Amino acid sequence: MSSFQIIVGSMLGGTEYVAEACQETLSSLNHQTQLHFSPEFEQIPIKDQIWLICTSTHGAGDYPDNLLPFVNKLRSNTQDLSPIKFFVIGVGDSSYDTFCQAAKNITTELKSKGCKELISLKTLDMQLDLDPEDEAQAWILANKDRL
């Protein structure tokens, strides 16, 4: 099966639970997974990998502090990233006008580097009465043929 690098951006920890739920689902589908709670760009494999980015948004549409160094390295990177396939889950609150902005921005950033988006951005609105872990798992299962 495939190998997934799960890259987490979280300020308060809620997105970490979503990432762990995604890891559980992907593992149940016989995929290899590795979680990165403090992602370092140079430490994340590129070849034959699928990157799953799970991120919240902080402040006025900003990246969480733990993800910002990763994003800065991504932006300044000059190597060929076209082998990377990815998809993104954004966790946010739709009462803010910057709802899931970090997830939207990293999607744009990865595409600009030639990475291939496998599944369109999934946003989880914490304003709604939902279990974000269950929602993320159901979304992965619904799209398992695209992974």
Domains and CATH numbers, the chain: 3-146 (3.40.50.360)
Question: pTM for the whole thing?
Answer: 0.96
Q: What is the pLDDT of residues 73-104, one digit of tens each?
A: 999 999 899 999 999 999 999 999 999 999 99
Q: Answer whether 74's CB lies under 8 Å from 113's CB.
A: yes
pLDDT band per the 50, 70, 90 thresholds, residue 5: very high
| Phi and psi at residue 123, to the nearest 5° | -110, 140
DSSP state of 71: H
| Three-state secondary-structure class, residue 106 | helix
Determine the average pLDDT of the residues in 120-143: 95
CA 9 to chain centre: 8
| φ, ψ at 18 (rounded to 5°) | -65, -45
Residue 7's Cβ-count burial label (10 Å; 0-12, 13-18, 19+) is buried
Note the pLDDT tens digit of each residue in 9-56: 999 889 999 999 999 999 999 999 999 999 999 999 999 999 999 999
Alpha carbon distance 110, 2 (integer Å): 19
